[in-house]
C-alpha cells in the first residue's frame, strides 16, 4: 500500500515537473537584429524620404521572386545565412506592414536600416534612416507589445532566450568621419573618434542588456577601404590604407569591449564576429576562392562612380557568383556566404535544423529556375510596375507611427 502511494506521489511529481518544463519551453528562440544596409531586409524600403534604399531592380534578383525586397544585395545578407545555419527563422523588417505580435513571437524582428550607424549623426544626408539608438527605441516598443500579449513574466523569458545581432560601424566611417562635410571629420582624430564610438557602443550594449539581451553577437568590420566606392578615390584604384586601418582599429577596440562586457554583465554571453582577414584574402586573391573580380561591382551604370548606380538601366555582370561586390558598397550573395561561414567557424555555431542554401544562379537572362520559398533563384527581368514605392505600413506598433519616423524623431 505504501509503495503504491509512493508511486502515485512520484507520478504526480513527474506530471508537475513536465508541466513546468512545458511552460518554460513554450517560447521559441528568435533573432532581433540591429544593423545597417548590410542587414536591412526592408525597413528603408518603407522610409519614403530615405535616400538610402534598395527599392529598384536589380536588387533582390537572386532572392525569392527576384524582385526588390529591401536587401542591399542580389541575394541574402550575412544575418540571413547565419540564421539559416543555426535554425532560427529570418526576422522580418520592423516596418513590414504584416508585422504583429504572433509574427514577432515566431520570427523576431529586424530593425536594421541602410545608412544607420552607432552614432546619431551618421548618414544624416540620407534624410531618413534608423541609427542604433533609434533601433533600440523601436525595440522597446516591440517589448511593450509582447508584454501586453503574453504577460510580463513570459515576455521577459522570451527576450532573454532570444538571439541578438548588432552589426553597424562602417557608416560611421564611410558616411560620417571620412566625409569632410561632416562635423565629426574635423572634431576628432582617428584614435579619439574610435574612442567616441566605443563609449557610445558600450552604452548601447549595456542598454540592450538591461532590456533582456543575454545572447548577443557584434559583427566586426571588413576591409571597407577595398569596397569599389573607396577604390575610386585612389588614383591607382587600390584599397584605401587609412580606411582599412580604421576598420582594424575598430575591430580591436570593439572586440575587447564585447569581451569585457561578456565578463562583467550578469548572465551575458556576448561574442565578437570578425571576418576581416578572410575577406581581405578573398579580395587580394579572388581566384583562390572561385571569384573572378574583387575590385568592381557586378551591378553598375557604366563607370559612373562613386555613387549608388545599381538601377534598372545598369549592366549586370555575366556571372554574379564570380563577383565579390554586388554594388559600390555591398558584397554579393556568394561573398556574404563566405563571410557568414567564417563567423560561424570562429564562433563555433553548430547546425541546428539548418536551412542553408547555395549561392545564387549566375545569369539574369536565363529562364527562371524552379522556385524555392527561401533559396536564391534565377529571376526574369524585373517589370517596371515593381519600381513603384510600397505603401506605408497599415498596422503599426506603439513605436512605429504610420508615417515612418526619421532618425531624429
Q: Convert the pLDDT of each residue in 204-217 to its tens digit.
A: 999 999 999 999 99
In a domain, residue 379? The reply is yes
Q: Residues 242, 246, 252, 253: what is their CA dihedral angle, to the nearest 10 degrees?
A: 140
Q: State the residue range of the domain holding 57.
A: 29-387
Statement: residue 16 has pLDDT above 70: no
Query: What's the pTM value of the predicted model, to 2 decimals?
Result: 0.83
Q: What's the whole-number average pLDDT of the chain?
A: 85
Q: What is the pLDDT of residues 26-38, one digit of tens each?
A: 468 999 999 999 9
Residue 19: predicted pLDDT? 41
C-beta neighbour count of 3 within 10 angstroms:
7
Active site residues: 37, 327, 330
In a domain, residue 191? The reply is yes
In which band, very low, low, confident or very high, does the pLDDT at 9 lie, cut at 50, 70 and 90? very low
In a domain, residue 20? The reply is no
Q: What is the pLDDT of residues 107-131, one digit of tens each?
A: 999 999 999 999 999 999 999 999 9
Q: What is the pLDDT of residues 175-225, one digit of tens each?
A: 999 999 999 999 999 999 999 999 999 999 999 999 999 999 999 999 999
In a domain, residue 100? The reply is yes
In a domain, residue 408? The reply is no
Residue 305: predicted pLDDT? 57
In a domain, residue 199? The reply is yes
> Using the 8-state DSSP alphabet, how is residue 311 labeled?
S
In which band, very low, low, confident or very high, does the pLDDT at 71 lie, cut at 50, 70 and 90? very high
Q: What is the pLDDT of residues 50-68, one digit of tens each?
A: 999 999 999 999 999 999 9
Statement: residue 363 has pLDDT above 90: no
Residue 23: predicted pLDDT? 41
Residue 391: predicted pLDDT? 35
In which band, very low, low, confident or very high, does the pLDDT at 233 lie, cut at 50, 70 and 90? confident
CATH code of the domain in which 330 resides: 3.40.50.1110
Total tally of structural domains belonging to the chain: 1
In a domain, residue 10? The reply is no
Cis previous bond, 101, omega within 30: no
Residue 246: predicted pLDDT? 99
**Which of 360, 394, 354, 407 lies closest to 379, judged by CA?**
360
The CA-CA-CA angle for residues 131, 222, 40, to 5°, reads 40
Separation between Cα atoms, residue 194 and residue 326, nearest integer Å: 28
Higher pLDDT, 162 or 393: 162
Residue 355: predicted pLDDT? 46
Residue 148: predicted pLDDT? 98
356 within 8 A of 349, measured Cβ to Cβ: no
C-alpha cell at 287: 581566384
In a domain, residue 406? The reply is no
> Using the 8-state DSSP alphabet, how is residue 111 labeled?
-
Amino acid at each position: 500500500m505504501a509503495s503504491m502511494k509512493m508511486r502515485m506521489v512520484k507520478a504526480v511529481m513527474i506530471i508537475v515537473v513536465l508541466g513546468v518544463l512545458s511552460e518554460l519551453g513554450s517560447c521559441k528562440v528568435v533573432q532581433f537584429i540591429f544593423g545597417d544596409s548590410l542587414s536591412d531586409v526592408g525597413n528603408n524600403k518603407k522610409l519614403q524620404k530615405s535616400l538610402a534604399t534598395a527599392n529598384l531592380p536589380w536588387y533582390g534578383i537572386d532572392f525569392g521572386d527576384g524582385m526588390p525586397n529591401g536587401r542591399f544585395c542580389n541575394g541574402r545578407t550575412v544575418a540571413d545565412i547565419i540564421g539559416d545555419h543555426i535554425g532560427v527563422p529570418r526576422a522580418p523588417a520592423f516596418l513590414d506592414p504584416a508585422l504583429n505580435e504572433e509574427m514577432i513571437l515566431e520570427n523576431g524582428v529586424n530593425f536594421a536600416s541602410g545608412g544607420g550607424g552607432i552614432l546619431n549623426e551618421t548618414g544624416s544626408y540620407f534624410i531618413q534612416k534608423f541609427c542604433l539608438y533609434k533601433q533600440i527605441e523601436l525595440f522597446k516598443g516591440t517589448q511593450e507589445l509582447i508584454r501586453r500579449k503574453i504577460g510580463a513574466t513570459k515576455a521577459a523569458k522570451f527576450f532573454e532566450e532570444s538571439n541578438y545581432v548588432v552589426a553597424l560601424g562602417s557608416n560611421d566611417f564611410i558616411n560620417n568621419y571620412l566625409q569632410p562635410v561632416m562635423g565629426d571629420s574635423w572634431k576628432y582624430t582617428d584614435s579619439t573618434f574610435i574612442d567616441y564610438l566605443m563609449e557610445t557602443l558600450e552604452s548601447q550594449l549595456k542598454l540592450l542588456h538591461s532590456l533582456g539581451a543575454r545572447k548577443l553577437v557584434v559583427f566586426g568590420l571588413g576591409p571597407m577601404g577595398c569596397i569599389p566606392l573607396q577604390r575610386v578615390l585612389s588614383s591607382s584604384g587600390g584599397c584605401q590604407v587609412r580606411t582599412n586601418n580604421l576598420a582594424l582599429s575598430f575591430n580591436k577596440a570593439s572586440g575587447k569591449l564585447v569581451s569585457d562586457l561578456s565578463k562583467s554583465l550578469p548572465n551575458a554571453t556576448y561574442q565578437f564576429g570578425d571576418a576581416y582577414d578572410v575577406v581581405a584574402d578573398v579580395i587580394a586573391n579572388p581566384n583562390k576562392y572561385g571569384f573572378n573580380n574583387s575590385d568592381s561591382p557586378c551591378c553598375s551604370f557604366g563607370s559612373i562612380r562613386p555613387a549608388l548606380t545599381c538601377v534598372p538601366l545598369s549592366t549586370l555582370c555575366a556571372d554574379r557568383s564570380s563577383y565579390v561586390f554586388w554594388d559600390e558598397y555591398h558584397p554579393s550573395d556568394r561573398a556574404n556566404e563566405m563571410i557568414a561561414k567564417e563567423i560561424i567557424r570562429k564562433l563555433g555555431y553548430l547546425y541546428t535544423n539548418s536551412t542553408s542554401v547555395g549561392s545564387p544562379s549566375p545569369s539574369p537572362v536565363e529562364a527562371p529556375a524552379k522556385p524555392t520559398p527561401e533559396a536564391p533563384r534565377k529571376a526574369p527581368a524585373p517589370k517596371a510596375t515593381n519600381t513603384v514605392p510600397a505603401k506605408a505600413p497599415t498596422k503599426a506598433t506603439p513605436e512605429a507611427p504610420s508615417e515612418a519616423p526619421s532618425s531624429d524623431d
